[in-house]
Amino acid sequence: AANGVVVITTKRAKMNRLDISFSATLTTQPYNYYTGHLADAATMIGLEKEWAEMNPELQGSKAKDYAQNLLDNAVYSAQGIRAILNNAAGKISPEEMNRTLDELASQGYRYYNDVEKYGKRNPFSQQYNLSIGKSNERNTFNASFSYRHNSLEDRYSNNESFGLNMQNTTGITSWLSMDLGTYLNYGDGATQSYSVTSPGYTYMPYNTLLNADGSPYTNTEADRYSKSQQGTLRDNGLYHLDITPLEEMKMNLQKNKDFSNRTFARLNFKLTDWLKYAASFQYEVGEYKSDQLKDKSSYEVRNKVNTFATSNKNAPATFNLPYGNIYATATNSSRAYNFRQQFDFQKTFAGAHDVTAILGTETRENKLEYNRRHLYDYDPDLLTYSLINEQLLSKTSGLWGWASFSKNDVFVTQELVNRYVSFYGNAAYTYAGKYMVTGSIRWDRTNLFATGSKYQNKPIWSAGAGWNIDKEDFFEVDFVDMLKLRTSYGIGGNIAKDSAPYMTAYYSSNIHVGGISGSISSRPNPELRWEKTTTANIGIDFALLKNRLTGTIEYYNKKGEDLLANTNGVPTEGWGYSTYTMNNGKMRNRGVELSLSGEVFSTKDWSWNVTGVLGYNKNKVTYVNVKAPALYLVFDHAGAYPRVGNPFNAIYGYQWAGLNEKGLPQVYDSEGTLFSESEPTKIEDAVYLGTTIPIYNGAINTNLRYKQWELAAQFLFEGGHKMRNTNIAFLSGMVPVSKNIEKRWRQPGDEAHTDIPRYVPSENPDYNSSSKEIYSKSSANILDASHGRLRNLSLTYRVPDDFSQKFHLKNVRIMFGMENVFLIAKNRDSKWSLGGYSKPNYLCSINVNF
């Protein structure tokens, strides 16, 4: 496989008999919006009360005017704060405010419960497979049909697919056979584009999707926009911008259809007993189409039409984008062919010299075409649409929101063609069944890199050796059944897909002035070379105790050179890039892998087998000549600016220094200086805090059998890596927040036992706009990502053959199982980030042979 040679063996029918098999699998997963990591309604109401208490503007004589101003400008949309402001503005009494706040606080996690009840559903999947096969002395035929239907968690998202796979092998003569095969797949589905978890407005745990009378909840313009904005909508005749989530989710469904076919033919020539030749040709075609009719009554369309409306003095606004349905369609077509020729050599000389070899060539091409277009004011019955003034729309400064229109809003077309020619060979020599040497080589030429042989002729190769120690006369260890020592060394390569020795540019129609305009996408890179990876490994394979215990131990060392990486640009070159890609990196990967398979016990009725895999790997960047031009890039794009001596997939952040006496976060810079009023500014202030790639990982598979019953389980674990906490306990604005905010600093002295900053509203004199960035980018929010998970658990019953045969059946198996059963992590935040609180998948399957 490392040399591009993959052999796939499919299920074959037994001689002169029609074999039929059928399987059915049903899978479901109870939907659950986990809320254990979020503050509930009572906590949020407490924070809203705290906001009012800490807001000095609500304490003085001008509190009434201040509150009314916030209401008029819709600064806060949270119902709790609006109740507090309405009381301060004199619109409701303190008693009414308290009743409202108490009612909201009692709602718990109502919005998320409504999402689970009205906006989502339990995903359900059905899969059926039917296979038939027949074989005789000259011909073998196999065919399978599959059907799958998925009802996804979004209520209006579903898909189904049909698959047909046929293969036939015919022996034409004693020295010639032919393989023919084809695979067809058709898919159809719909995808819900609107999500009730991102409804287009800010919601709190106490909000709802359904009113008390059972009608769908509507978030009105008045809930989100100031009186001035509402006046703009009303006075200019713009379309209303109310949002009704349970209605929106039914609209703007994206309908998808796809078809793919892969057909191949192969001729197999037996030239001699030790030399074979095969020639094969494969052709693939794929078509994917999506259609989306965006309903004119949907919020998305109403808002878009309003965005491009312009003022018309005292008359209603001019709608430069016509009000109507928007039809978006996209097609993605693929074509590919593959032609391969291969010689296979296998011969033993003088009874002790075994030689096997393959020599082949492969030519392949992949072509992708993508087209997308939008039609405006589209009528699906009449198939008509309105023309638009693209140039006018591109220059429109609308009445409502930020207007941006480009050619991509009308039509997009793309084409990608990749061609490859490869020559490869593998050879192995074994002497007396004890000593082995192997070698492989491969040349690849492609249109991805460049046209000159300087860039193309870079062979990749490997060489290896092995020693079957157990076959030596001097090795007499009774409990060792097999012992093999092996080693290999090789060089692999990789080509750049987004860089070239010459300057590259892209062209498009200029919507502003007309004509064609071009933009440079990358500077010329005349020194561009292949990425090169050198791999050396040594391993031991063994079998003990009459093969009851088998395993391997392997050590590997990979060195990457001329790796493609960013490098700092030269401003005087005039390309305008702060960085560009070139061969500018070196990296090292070292690791150990251990695998063990054991038969714990085996009797007529009982057996227990266990397989374990353990891996350890660390990588380190040994050379790169680049430095992030801005500090934020170290946090947002660490992989683009690696640091020598650290792993490639590193996390960087500020070194946490705890809370100060006011409960505000503080960090150290690279020189040990405390920062709390503002962020550190130097690149070096972002220190290495860990790697996102597991340093060690492993798996344990176990199978316990009792008579006709089998219990199987798979447990996976990873460790030694970190991740950034995205659910931080810091409130900025009035939005849902981490439950950990309940542990926040509240009074002097709390900094000794908590790292959760105090809540400081923006209106409070102690408010610091940098506090959130300081806290979120600090080591206090780096989590240990080590975890273990029970991936699969299944119970299978094999129906006894003597019973099945009464119904002309055989090999009948019934299985009940679970997937993603549970996850163990360092703490609740880590477990949530790793998806550990999602419900398991439950599945049931039956397999029958006729």
Contact between 779 and 635 (Cβ < 8 Å): no
- At position 189, the amino acid (one-letter code) is G
pLDDT tens digits, one per residue of 383-414: 999 999 988 888 877 888 777 888 888 999 99
pLDDT-based confidence at 104, cuts 50/70/90?
very high
Average pLDDT score over residue span 790-812: 92
Note the pLDDT of residue 434: 95
Within 8 A by CB and 6+ apart from 670, the residues are 680, 682, 684, 685, 687
| pLDDT score at 408 | 85
Tens of pLDDT, residues 311-344: 887 788 999 999 999 999 999 999 999 999 999 9
Q: Quick one: pLDDT band at residue 2, thresholds 50, 70, 90? A: very low
Which run of H or of E encompasses 91?
none
Q: Please, which pLDDT band fits residue 454 given cuts at 50, 70 and 90? A: low
Distance, in Å, from the CA atom of 553 to the CA atom of 455, rounded to the nearest integer, reads: 37
As a whole number, mean pLDDT of residues 810-819 equals 95
Mean pLDDT of the chain: 92
- pLDDT score of 309: 93
Q: Which residue has the higher pLDDT, 766 or 575?
A: 766
Residue 217 has pLDDT above 70, yes or no: yes
Q: Which of 229-238, 266-275, 523-532, 794-803 has the lowest mean pLDDT?
A: 523-532
DSSP secondary structure letters along 614-669: EEEEEEEEEEE----SSHHHHHH-GGGS--TTS-SSEEEEBEEEEE-TTS-EEEE-
Neighbours of 260 (CB within 10 A): 16
The phi and psi torsions of 284 (rounded to 5 degrees) equal -125, 145
C-alpha separations of 754 from 483, 779, 780 in Å: 56, 14, 11
pLDDT of residue 578: 64
pLDDT at position 806, please?
Answer: 87
Can you read off the two tokens belonging to residue 703?
């199978």
The yes-or-no verdict on residue 4 having pLDDT over 70 is no
pLDDT-based confidence at 372, cuts 50/70/90?
Answer: very high
CB 391 within 8 A of CB 511: yes
pLDDT band at 285 (very low <50, low <70, confident <90, very high): very high
Q: Where are the alpha helices (DSSP H) in 23-180?
A: 41-53, 63-72, 79-88, 94-105, 110-114
Mean pLDDT calculated for residue range 511-534: 79
What's the pLDDT score for residue 499? 72
pLDDT band of 521, cuts 50, 70, 90: confident
Span 48-76, average pLDDT: 93
Backbone angles phi, psi at 690, to 5 degrees: 140, 180
Residues, the chain, total?
A: 850
Amino acid of residue 357: A
Asked whether residue 450 carries a pLDDT value surpassing 70, the answer given is no
Cβ atoms of 568 and 579 within 8 Å: the answer is yes
Question: What local confidence, expressed as pLDDT, does residue 10 receive?
Answer: 43
* Cβ-Cβ contacts under 8 Å for 154 (sequence gap 6 or more): 120, 121, 191, 192, 195, 249
pLDDT over 80 at 523, yes or no = no
Position of tokens 């097999």? 482
pLDDT at 423: 95
pLDDT > 70? residue 452: no
Q: Is pLDDT larger for residue 702 or for residue 582?
A: 702
pTM for the complete prediction?
0.87
185, 162 contact by CB (below 8 A): yes
Angle between helix 94-105 and helix 79-88 axes, rounded to 10 deg? 170
pLDDT tens, 223-261? 999 999 999 999 999 999 999 999 999 999 999 999 999
The DSSP 8-state label assigned to residue 679 in this structure reads -
Element (H, E) at 220: none
Strands (E), 350-479: 353-379, 384-386, 411-431, 435-446, 460-468
Predicted local distance difference test score (pLDDT) of residue 394: 85
CB hemisphere CA count around 157 (13 angstroms): 15
First-to-last alpha carbon distance for the chain, in angstroms, is 35
At 448 the pLDDT is: 63
Where are the extended beta strands (E) located within 510-578? 516-522, 531-544, 549-568
Q: How wide is the angle at C-alpha 281 spanned by C-alphas 274 and 347, nearest 5°?
A: 10
How confident is the model over 534-562, as a mean pLDDT? 96
pLDDT at residue 265 is higher than 50: yes
Are the CB atoms for 167 and 133 separated by under 8 Å? no
Say yes or no to pLDDT of 546 above 80.
Answer: yes
pLDDT tens across 603-648, in order? 999 999 999 999 999 999 999 998 888 899 999 889 889 999 999 9
Integer Cα distance of 719 and 505 in angstroms: 44
Q: Is the pLDDT of residue 49 over 80?
A: yes
Among the residue ranges 251-260, 444-453, 676-685, 781-790, the one predicted with the least confidence is 444-453
Diameter of the chain measured on Cα atoms: 108
Residues of the chain with pLDDT > 90: what percent? Answer: 79
pLDDT at 682 over 90: yes
pLDDT at 495 over 80: no
521 or 185: which leads in pLDDT = 185
3-class DSSP string for 464-525: EEEEEHHHCCCCCCCCEEEEEEEEEEEEEEECCCCCCCCCEEEEEECCCCCCEEEEEEECCC
Least confidently predicted of 141-155, 300-314, 488-502, 582-596: 488-502
Q: Among 261, 293, 284, 260, which residue's Cα sits nearest to residue 187?
A: 260
Which uninterrupted H or E stretch holds 184?
strand 176-191
* 154 sits in which H/E element: none
Among 552, 545, 539, 541, residue whose Cα is nearest residue 477: 545
Between residues 315 and 690, the one the model is more confident about: 690
Q: Read off the tokens for 470.
A: 């157990």
Q: How far apart are CA 79 and CA 76, in angstroms?
A: 8
Cβ neighbours of residue 65 closer than 8 Å, sequence gap 6 or more: none
Spacing of C-alpha 288 from chain mean position: 20
Q: How far apart are the C-alpha atoms of 355 and 594, rounded to whole Å?
A: 30
pLDDT at 455 exceeding the cut of 60 = no
DSSP H or E stretch at residue 307 = helix 299-307
Predicted local distance difference test score (pLDDT) of residue 9: 38
